[in-house]
Amino acid sequence: MHYEGSCHCGRVAFDVDGDLNGVVACNCSICQRKGALMWFVPRESLHLRTPDEAAATYTFNKHLIRHRFCPECGIHPYGEAKDPQGKDMAAVNVRCLEGVDIDALPVKHYDGRSR
């Protein structure tokens, strides 16, 4: 399926294609604070509608994940990293997608705090 997403103010906007069958809720120090529900897709499935430079980047700890956020409204719509096999991935915050019934999605809890 095709989804449209953005930050609150629209400065960071994107389209994403794929089967949204569930999300991940992580309890690491940043995800718990953001309250993000993440959907992992191949990076090529995420298509920016705004320039890449519209989003700021935050990294911490091992600096492996590029947490992308809007410097205007502060919303974190997606992140970028490589999976264990080295493939480029995107972690889409489904709370930033239009028309998604979040309550209907199964949630897998991930203990990122212990990693």
Strand order in the sheet with 46-48: 2-6, 13-17, 46-48
Confidence of residue 55 (pLDDT cuts 50, 70, 90): very high
What does the pLDDT read at residue 37? 97
**For the chain, what is the mean pLDDT?**
96
Percent above pLDDT 90 for the chain: 94
Q: Tell me how many degrees the CA angle 1-45-98 measures, rounded to the nearest 5.
A: 50
Q: Of all helices (H) and strands (E), which one includes residue 9?
A: none
pTM higher than the cut 0.85: yes
Q: How far is CA 13 from CA 10, 64, 73, 75, in A?
A: 6, 23, 13, 11
58 CA to centre of own chain: 13
Average pLDDT of the residues in 39-57: 98
Q: What is the DSSP letter of 19?
A: -
Whichever domain contains 18, its CATH number is: 2.170.150.70
61-114 tens-digit pLDDT:
889 999 999 999 999 999 999 999 999 999 999 999 999 999 999 999 999 888
Amino acid, res. 47: H
What total of structural domains would you count in the chain? 1
Q: What is the DSSP letter of 31?
A: H
What does the pLDDT read at residue 115? 76
Average pLDDT of the residues in 15-39: 95
CB 75 within 8 A of CB 7: yes
